[in-house]
A = this chain, B = another copy of it.
Amino acid sequence: MHNKLTIKDIAKKLGVSVSTVSRALKDHPDISEKTKSLIRNFANEMNYRPNVLALSLRKQKSNTIGLIIPEIVHHFFSSVISGIEDLTYREGYNLIICQSNENQFRESTNLQALIDHRVDGIIISMSKSTTNFNHFKKAWEDGIPMVFFDRICDAIETDRVVMDDFEGGRLATEYLIKKGCSNILHLAAAPNLLIGRNRRDGYLEALRQYNIPIREKFILKCDTREEVITMQNHILSLVPQIDAIFAVNDSTAIATIQMLRRNGYRVPEDIRVIGFGDGPIATIVEPALTTVEQKGYDMGREAVRLLLQRLNNPNVPIDYQTRVFTPTIKERESA
């Protein structure tokens, strides 16, 4: 088994040197057409395939890029992976994927493993639990090209691909205001999450823009389906005073819609609800969820593009770039 044909075997079989075979297969001008076609035909016939490992070792380039992602089973992240995979495939790169499981230790191990594998570059979204950035710093000092996306690490300077969460929060809130709402409840994420803070700040900004007073009690920490259930009574107690809800993510928004309907409220007639982060669940709920669209696939592709730009110009120093994806409102029925 695994009797892989090598360039050496071909050379022996054909009575030429390995250098000649190598050159013939690469169409080097030093080799005569006659020899070239002899070698090429034989190689094709025998289905010769070069050993990528040997090649990478020799060329000091593995044509592989690494990806560290907090969680694969997650619509946004899997969309990003898909975008990354599509582009790397087209460009002839391979993709090694690691999952940090939101765990700093594992993230650090993954990073080391990728570097050990001599990947040409790394794309990362940081784990939630990461508070120490030494592993990133070390990799950065090693000079390995990195692109952060979505959950960026601001302790080091790298290329970045991010959503404009602030603008997303502002847009969502503005959308509700333009529909005539002025008492808007915000179901927010935990305050230590940058993303959540930005969305909340966008919410606040929209209120300010339209001269709507900000009320602290209209901002609730509530960012999971479960939490909606736990906080049901609290939320319902506020409902008589509000005419819209902006939830920090879709599953919270959907859970809220369902909770409201079970309690006799109509969406969007009585209360408008808007979410954040367009996934497959948004189209399933009734009424279909109006939400802020997150373009995971495109962000993935952009991350690859930034990385390749660096890989293809290894000695040209390029300023670190940050690509910002401005979200758009995906209008459906709930708001």
How many residues belonging to A are interface residues under a CB distance threshold of 8 Å?
A: 52
| A118–B297 CA distance with the chains assembled, in angstroms | 29
- Is there an interface contact between B62 and A72, defined as CB atoms closer than 8 Å? no
Beyond the given pairs A52-B117, A72-B85, A251-B280, 4 more chain A to chain B contacts, judged by CB atoms under 8 angstroms and listed by A's residue number, are A2-B143, A72-B82, A73-B78, A95-B98
Q: How many copies does the complex hold?
A: 2
| A300–B16 CA distance with the chains assembled, in angstroms | 47
Point out the residue from B82, B116, B254 that lies within 8 Å of A73, measured CB to CB.
B82
Point out the residue from B52, B99, B117 that lies within 8 Å of A116, measured CB to CB.
B52
Q: List residues of chain B with CB within 8 A of the CB of A112.
A: 49
Q: What residues of chain A have their CB less than 8 Å away from a CB belonging to chain B?
A: 1-2, 49-54, 56-57, 62, 64, 71-75, 78-79, 81-82, 85-86, 89, 94-99, 101, 106, 110, 112-113, 115-118, 142-144, 251, 254, 258, 261, 280-281, 284-286, 297
- Is there an interface contact between A53 and B118, defined as CB atoms closer than 8 Å? yes
What are 23 A-B contacts with C-beta separation under 8 Å? A1-B143, A2-B144, A49-B116, A51-B57, A53-B62, A53-B117, A54-B57, A73-B79, A81-B97, A82-B99, A85-B97, A85-B99, A86-B99, A86-B101, A89-B110, A94-B98, A96-B96, A96-B97, A97-B97, A281-B281, A281-B284, A284-B284, A284-B285
| A62–B116 CA distance with the chains assembled, in angstroms | 12
- Is there an interface contact between A117 and B99, defined as CB atoms closer than 8 Å? no
How far apart are A124's CB and chain B's nearest CB, in angstroms?
15
- Is there an interface contact between A142 and B53, defined as CB atoms closer than 8 Å? no
Q: List residues of chain B with CB within 8 A of the CB of A281.
A: 280-281, 284
- Is there an interface contact between B94 and A113, defined as CB atoms closer than 8 Å? yes
